Amino acid sequence: MTDDTSNTALQSMIERAGQITAEEAEALDVVWKADEQIVVPEASASLAIQGGADGRMVTNADLLAAWKHALDAAGEAGRVDEIEAAQEAGKAVKHGGAHLRDRAGAEEAVRSAVLATGVRDLLTDEEYDTLTAAWRRVFGAA
């Protein structure tokens, strides 16, 4: 990681993710999915012929672009620790005490916020805000 301060901040976020309550996980899930602007394709004869719909499609171009840029920038800068911290945070949510049927949005929101925080120096303000929005709405400052 870039420095001890960054390491401490990410570790704190990972620990917080592991202590997430069901209510917080639900709030993260709802906010993240709203930010994703998810569209579920309607069933149609053409989709049936093609093997059916593959589920949801994310239509928030800003979110997708920010996530791709954060991952690419982290990789190009050799910031493997930050990528691993984001993965660890997602696992912490998954294995935490919050019992939800679908934690996907909460896991994605946490991974996104941790990665953005770890590579803050590589992101624009807009990208950082986009990737940390759900975390900030539920927990406060990232």
Per residue, the 3-state secondary structure of 36-102, as one string, reads HCEECCCCCHHHHHCCCCCCCEECCHHHHHHHHHHHHHHHHCCCHHHHHHHHHHHHHHHHCCCCCCC
Res 97: pLDDT: 60
> Does pLDDT of 95 surpass 90?
no
pLDDT for 54-89, tens place per residue?
Answer: 555 666 788 889 999 999 999 999 999 999 999 999
- Report whether pLDDT(29) > 70: yes
The whole-number average pLDDT for the span 82-106 is: 80
Q: Stretch 29-40: mean pLDDT, rounded? A: 76
Please state the domain extents for the chain: 4-139
Arithmetic mean of pLDDT over the chain: 82
Question: 106 vs 57, which has greater pLDDT?
Answer: 106
